Amino acid sequence: MSLRRRLPFSPWHLALAPIAILFALPFAWMVISSLMSTAQINRFPPTIIPGSLHLEGWETVLGGAEFPRWFLNSTIVAVVTVISNLIFCSMAGYAFARLKFRGSTAIFLLILATLIIPFQITMIPTFIVMHDLHLSDTLGALIVPNLVTPFGVFLMRQFFLNLPIEVEEAARIDGCSRFGVLLHVATPLAKPALATLAALTFLVSWNELFWPLIVINTDSTFTLPVGLTTFQGAHSIDWPAVMAGNALTALPVVVAFLLTQRTFIASLTSSAVKG
Amino acid sequence: MEALAPALATAPRRRLRERLLGEHPTAWAFIAPAVVIILGLTIVPVVWSLLLSFRSSDLISPSHSVGLANYKALVHDPALGAAVKHTLIFTVLYVPLSIAAGLGLALALDRRIRLIGLYRTLILIPFIVATAVQGVLFSFIFDQRFGVVNSLLQKLGLPTQGFLGDPGQALYIIILIALWGSIGFCVIIYLAALQDVPKELKEAAAVDGATRWEVLRHVTIPQLAPITVFLLVWQTLFALQLFDLVYATTRGGPLESTVVIVYYIYLQAFQLFHAGYAAAIAYVVALVLIGLSALQIVYRRWRVAHP
Amino acid sequence: MPGVTLERITKVYGGGVKAVDDVSMAIGDAEYMVLVGPSGCGKSTLLRMVAGLEKVTAGRILIGGDDATDLEPRDRDIAMVFQSYALYPHKTVRENLAFGLRRRRVPSDEIRTKVDAMGAMLGLAELMDRKPAALSGGQRQRVAMGRALVREPRVFLLDEPLSNLDAKLRTSMRGELARLHERLPTTTIYVTHDQVEAMTLGSRVAVMRDGVVQQCDSPQVLFDRPANLFVGAFIGAPAMNLVEARVGGGAIHFGSHALGAPGLEELGDRRLVLGLRPTCFALADERCDPRWPRLSAEVDVVEELGAESNLLFTVDAPPVLSDAVREAIGGESGSDEGRLLADDRRARFTAQIAERRAARAGERVELAMDPTQLHLFDPASGEAVEWSWSLVHTA
Ligand SMILES: Nc1ncnc2c1ncn2[C@@H]1O[C@H](COP(=O)(O)OP(=O)(O)OP(=O)(O)O)[C@@H](O)[C@H]1O
Ligand SMILES: [Mg+2]
């Protein structure tokens, strides 16, 4: 009580501010060291506050052939995956929510069940399938298995189930086919769910390391996470460049997160809290 | 009116198709991509994997059946035993610590004061960043020679450490990094759940004379039980499947002190090309994981039935 | 032939619920057909089958003479107004009105003209650029009507379009709907559970119960000659007074009362249900037709309605508690009332007298009854029992 009266701010800040800084500090260090020279870092013990700024690290990363290529690859994979998930998960989710057809319950339950199947048991056969489709070592191998995800189908189905059905019926009477209803009425109303789906799909796709590591062998086909870990292995002396590459990999998700924080957080919590 | 004529002609055929396929045969077109991709690349591989686990395969040349040999071998594989041990150490420390820290921070952050949004954002950002980024970043921070932590220790006159380069420390450093990277997730899940704890309940307890601690202990935390169970399962599943962080920091080293199960499966399948053996290990692990998920589902059902 | 024809329509839902059972009816061009009945009787289901939103289990639907049984809703050239209005929440009023025309590839300048005209006609001109969330209940209702009307469909379907409005608005809207139909005569099927709406709007009314059409005729015929006990009890407000009675010796006996009317002899001696419209009563004085049967009653309660009064009294004979009556009078309150009355074994009657201050509570009055508004039903089947005198006088 007395503490609160003496402080011009809530005493909670005394605990929360240092913790928050602890979470942010590594990123600050990442950015600072990406702006140092190798000489500044290679000194022992290394400098913490650099006297001067150097752009060599960023030049290595942005001027080289590798990182821009990886950035492009990551972008292609993420964009295609997000768009195809929006389309295919909506379609499947809508069908499971609204259309009556033989086996709909059984198929939906089967799709739902795949949610708990861990990746380790499917990865070897999937690798062989990609090989047989002549997709291994191409971006196609990263895109095809993620074109549509069970979580997305589940999410969209839940959402469509909760839309008032009369609005869709009105559209059918007004002249829409089933697909027209989805296109003109259900999808515009599903914007919040689509935003959630887009945010999560992007996040997972952009950050994925394990699967690309398995199917991609060629440098020029790497995505950023694979490229980054490989680059670090090869250039562990050039820390400024590694940190610049690191920052470059982190940047899109951090920016996307800061711009659409509400959607992101809603997406992350929706699966857990609402179940 | 003209439009009706062809419809009339197709009516009986339509009826038949309906009886076979249900009211909306077009639904199949809607779900086709999902069925092909999800079932084709999950259900088929699940069976395929099982068959593979009874064979010896290097992924390239024709495989041959070995019966239960792979399963027999994995029981006696000391490297796998070590990987299991590392995984369990990781799980036993990481899961409770992340949940406890997540709950504590969520409770601290669940108030309306200035800058609270900023604090929440800063704590969550590590989670949304790629594990590869986390791993590379901390490889640098904990670097023996050039890392900032050793530099600080030096300045404070303390002995410098091996960290990720020390077989005795590496696994624990990885746990630390994993905590930094995932506490934010537990925090926002708990924060969201805290919004759903009925305010009247806490007020009623307060009116009944409970102290703040007692309200927390007897009202708030019990109300969060379903979420705690969810996080427990979720974090355990994550811990048992740890791979990215190990790959991005130590790649199993030093002296294989950080080889965890999934990393071992990866080595067996894609570095040593023992695909059949890797499939067998993967199957055993998967059964444990599926069992855990099933427990969680059963718990949810039970919660709904016994509110 | 325009209009709508239903041929032996049956609907069985997945769970085995028979919602509509072998319904046939022919609705003429520009006719206003009202489907009425208690909750769950299958009105909406029947309407939705005409719309194509539900598949029929058996039977045929003809719209404008063409078989539409297996057509998609969009190919039926119908429009529908929903109870919840079902406006497109993400579209403005203008876009809501234009949506159906646009799907039908109407040229955009024609759309503009039609939508503007409809907006002006329904008084929506100022609201055209608002979203539904920014409209009041009455305004939403008008947009829903406009969206259906602007398409100029062959058939117009309405499912309880007024039930989300407050009582006053509902009454004025009812008048508006009738006027609208005068102006734009389109074949219309209107579903409601409110018999006042049914009687005031319908050129014909189909009374439904448990998926079966009990009677389908003009409001006047439904009122004057209900085909069975259910229709008799359902149509009319206040509801028909019903009492268990016996006919014999040319008179109807119930409790200590006996009503004589010509022609009753032909019915012989049997148990019946007697139904008396509240409006059939008048105070027995010199102005009354002396041939009308009389009844003496002690008034319990008087409800003054301004120009007329309702006299509530009981008669010393058992009320009718069959399922048909209970369903017609309505769920909870009906059955509660039934239990209360079962105790004292006395039927409650209402007499609507076209006079102000017709009596005081506690007073004993002599009432005369118009025998043409006197109905007899078979107690087992519920079917109306007709006898020559009643037929002559209501024809
Ligand atoms: N989709 C459905 N599946 C199964 N049964 C249904 C379905 N829709 C309606 N029913 C049942 O069919 C019967 C008729 O329902 P319907 O909606 O046609 O009644 P209604 O006359 O419109 O009633 P209300 O006045 O309450 O709207 C009811 O018993 C109802 O429970
Ligand atoms: Mg209805």
Residue B201 scores a pLDDT above 70: yes
CA-C20 nearest atom, ligand 1: 14
pLDDT at C332 over 80: no
Q: Are B172 and B86 in contact (CB under 8 A)?
A: no
Cα torsion angle, C50, C56, C60, C65, sign: positive
**B256 lies in some domain:** yes
Predicted confidence at residue A3, as pLDDT, reads 57
Predicted local distance difference test score (pLDDT) of residue B14: 54
Joined together, the tokens standing for residue C105 give 């590839």
CATH of the domain at B298: 1.10.3720.10
Q: Mention every residue, 6+ apart, whose C-beta is less than 8 A from residue C173.
A: C138, C141, C162, C165
Whether residues C73 and A166 touch (CB distance < 8 A) is answered with: no
Question: 3-class SS at B259?
Answer: coil
Q: Quick one: what percent of chain A has pLDDT higher than 90?
A: 60
Q: Does residue B126 lie in a domain region?
A: yes
Work out the burial of residue C152: count CB atoms within 10 Å of its CB; fewer than 13 is exposed, 13-18 middle, 19 or more buried: middle
pLDDT value for C296: 87
pLDDT at C333 > cutoff 80: no
Confidence of residue B202 (pLDDT cuts 50, 70, 90): confident
In a domain, B64, yes or no: no
Residue C122 carries which DSSP code?
A: T
The mean predicted confidence, pLDDT, of chain B is: 87
**Cα–ligand 1 centroid distance for C21 (angstroms):** 13
pLDDT in tens, C121-179: 888 999 999 999 999 988 999 999 999 999 899 999 999 999 888 888 888 889 989 99
What would the mean pLDDT of A188-197 be, rounded to a whole number?
A: 90
Euclidean distance between CA atoms C133 and C279, whole angstroms: 45
Please give the residue of chain B at the shortest CA–CA distance from A38. B146
> How confident is residue B186, by pLDDT bands cut at 50, 70 and 90?
very high
Residue nearest to atom 3 of ligand 1 (CA): C13
Q: B87 with B235, same domain?
A: yes
Question: Where does chain B have alpha helices with state H?
Answer: 4-21, 27-34, 44-52, 69-75, 78-109, 116-128, 131-141, 148-155, 170-195, 199-207, 212-215, 221-223, 225-240, 244-249, 261-266, 275-305
| pLDDT of A100 | 83
Chains sharing 3 or more CB pairs under 8 A with chain B: A, C
Query: Alpha-carbon torsion B85, B89, B92, B94, what sign?
Result: negative
Percent of chain B with pLDDT over 90: 56
CA of C384 to the centre of ligand 2 (A): 28
- Tell me: do B92 and B175 sit in the same domain: yes
Mean pLDDT (whole number) for B132-154: 89
Residues of B (57-86) whose Cβ lies below 8 Å from A: 59
Tell me: pLDDT of A48 over 80.
no
Per-residue pLDDT tens digits for B82-110 = 999 999 999 999 999 999 999 999 999 99
Looking at A240-254, C39-53, C215-229, C338-352, which range is the least confident one?
C338-352
Local confidence band at B2 (pLDDT 50, 70, 90 cut-offs): very low
pLDDT tens string A265-274: 887 787 665 5
A178 contacts in B (CB within 8 Å)? 24, 26, 30
Does a structural domain hold residue B88? yes
Q: Do B199 and B121 reside in the same domain of the chain? A: yes
pLDDT over 90 at B6, yes or no: no
Question: What does the pLDDT read at residue A152?
Answer: 93
Q: How far is the CA of A101 from the centre of ligand 1 (A)?
A: 21
Q: Are residues B190 and B124 in the same domain?
A: yes
Chain C neighbours, 3+ Cβ pairs < 8 A: A, B
The confidence band for A53, taking pLDDT boundaries of 50, 70 and 90, is confident
Partners of residue C367 on adjacent β-strands: C283, C295
Spatial CB neighbours of A94, under 8 Å, sequence gap ≥ 6:
A156, A157, A160, A182, A186, B30
pLDDT for the residue numbered C251 = 85
Kindly state whether residues B96 and B149 are assigned to the same domain. yes
Pairwise CB contact (< 8 Å): A166 & C86: yes
Same domain, B112 and B222: yes
* β-bridge pairing C18-27 and C4-12: antiparallel
What average pLDDT does the segment B150-169 reach? Answer: 88
pLDDT of residue C395: 40
pLDDT of residue C387: 72
Tens of pLDDT along C289-299? 777 888 888 88
Predicted confidence at residue C337, as pLDDT, reads 47
pLDDT at B24 over 80: no
Res. A50: pLDDT tops 80 = no
pLDDT (0 to 100) of residue A51: 76
Element of type H or E holding A246: helix A239-259
Q: Provide mean pLDDT across the span B183-201.
A: 90
Residue B57 lies in a domain: no
Ligand 1, atom 4, lies closest to the CA of C13
Within this chain, do residues B134 and B14 fall inside the same structural domain, yes or no?
no
- Same domain as B20, residue B147: no
Global pTM?
0.83
> How confident is the prediction for chain C on average, in pLDDT?
87
Indicate the DSSP class of residue C1: -
Q: How confident is the model at residue B13 (pLDDT cuts 50, 70, 90)?
A: low
For residue B11, is pLDDT > 60?
no
Among A9-23, B232-246, C26-40, name the one with the lowest average pLDDT: A9-23
State residue A39's pLDDT score.
79
Q: Which of C67, C69, C75 sits opposite B3 (nearest CB)?
A: C75
CA distance C130 to C92: 5
Domain assignment present for B91 = yes
Q: Considering only CB atoms, which chain C residues are within 8 Å of A184? A: 99
Looking at the structure, tell me whether residues B98 and B32 fall in a common domain.
no
Question: Structural domain of residue B31, as residue ranges?
Answer: 5-52
Domains annotated for chain A, with CATH where assigned, are 71-269 (1.10.3720.10)
Q: Is the pLDDT confidence value at B264 over 60?
A: yes
B278 shares a domain with B202: yes
Measured from the CA of C54, which atom of ligand 1 is nearest? 1
Q: Minimal CA–CA distance to C189: which of C384, C50, C374, C2?
A: C50
Contacts of A262 (CB under 8 A, 6+ apart): none
Q: Is residue C195 scored above 80 in pLDDT?
A: yes
User: In the complex, which subunits touch A with 3 or more CB pairs below 8 angstroms?
Assistant: B, C
Percent of chain C having pLDDT more than 70?
A: 94
For the CA of C38, the closest atom of ligand 1 is: 25
Name which of A115, A125, A242 is nearest B140 (Cβ-Cβ): A242
Which residue, among C255, C5, C10, has the nearest Cα to C155 in the 3D structure?
Answer: C5
Q: Per-residue confidence at B20, pLDDT binned at 50, 70, 90?
A: low
> Cβ distance C278 to C310 under 8 Å?
yes
Residues B25 and B172 both lie in one domain: no
Q: Is the pLDDT of residue B70 over 50?
A: yes
- Ligand 1 in contact with C39 (CB < 6 A)? yes
> Per-residue pLDDT tens for A109-164?
999 889 888 999 999 999 999 999 999 999 999 999 999 999 999 999 999 998 88
Residue B58 lies in a domain: no
What total number of domains does chain B contain? 2
Q: Are B106 and B211 in the same domain?
A: yes
In this predicted structure, the answer to whether residue B213 has a pLDDT above a threshold of 90 is: no
**Phi-psi map region of C16: left, alpha, beta (phi>0 left; psi -120 to 50 alpha):** left
Pairwise pLDDT comparison (C282 vs A6), residue with the higher score: C282
Chain B residue with Cα closest to C64: B1
Average pLDDT over residues B54-58: 88
Asked if residue B63 is part of any domain, the answer here is no
Residue B12: predicted pLDDT = 52
The rounded Å distance from CA C40 to ligand 1 centre is 5
Partner-chain contact B7 C64, CB within 8 Å: no
**Looking at per-residue confidence, does B184 or B204 come out higher?**
B184
Cα–Cα distance for residue pair C277/C372, rounded to 1 Å: 10
